[in-house]
Amino acid sequence: MADTSPDPLKLEAYRVAREAFHLELTRFWQRSNYFLVLSTAIAAGFFSLRDPRYTLPLAVFGLVVALLWLAVNLGSKFWLTRWEYRLCVTEKDLRSGMDLFSASWGTMQNDVRLGLGFRRRGAIHRAYTRLVLLKPSVTLMMTVLSLAFVGLWIAMLFVAVG
């Protein structure tokens, strides 16, 4: 009888990729939360300033922080994508058909549909399910938020200068 147990080296590679992906995801949210709090505090300070001498330096600082936040989000997404892809490749190599990280789009949507109990319910639940099935990217939304802060600070620079 043939041995069907997974190759220990491939199994270890999968574990490493999974742990790296999880670590990058955790770091993404920690970094984003840090920059969100910092950016919000700078904005609160800017909008509560009583002395106009400080508007320009604070607006410049806000823009620098927002640009750093955007760069950190993009760098984080690079590594998240890299490790997610390695998970897919390693999973397929380990055992075809596991469909965890390497599942097709149709399989993922079906899993989510079944998980949400896709059946006839009220209009709000059906609309909610349809929106969830669009799979909006949470990392993209956080990156768009950091980009919005870049736009805010560019506008506030014009306010401070003008």
**What residues does each domain of the chain span?**
8-161
Please tell me the predicted confidence (pLDDT) of residue 119.
64
In this prediction, residue 123 has a pLDDT band, given cuts at 50, 70 and 90, of confident
Q: Where does the pLDDT of residue 120 fall: very low under 50, low under 70, confident under 90, or very high at 90 and above?
A: low
For the cut 90, the answer to whether the pLDDT of residue 43 exceeds it is yes
Q: What is the mean pLDDT of residues 87-94?
A: 90
Let me know if 132 is exposed, middle or buried by CB neighbors in 10 A (0-12, 13-18, 19+).
middle
- Is 64:133 a contact under the CB 8 Å cutoff? no
Banded pLDDT at 77 (limits 50, 70, 90): very high
Judge whether residue 47 has pLDDT over 80: yes
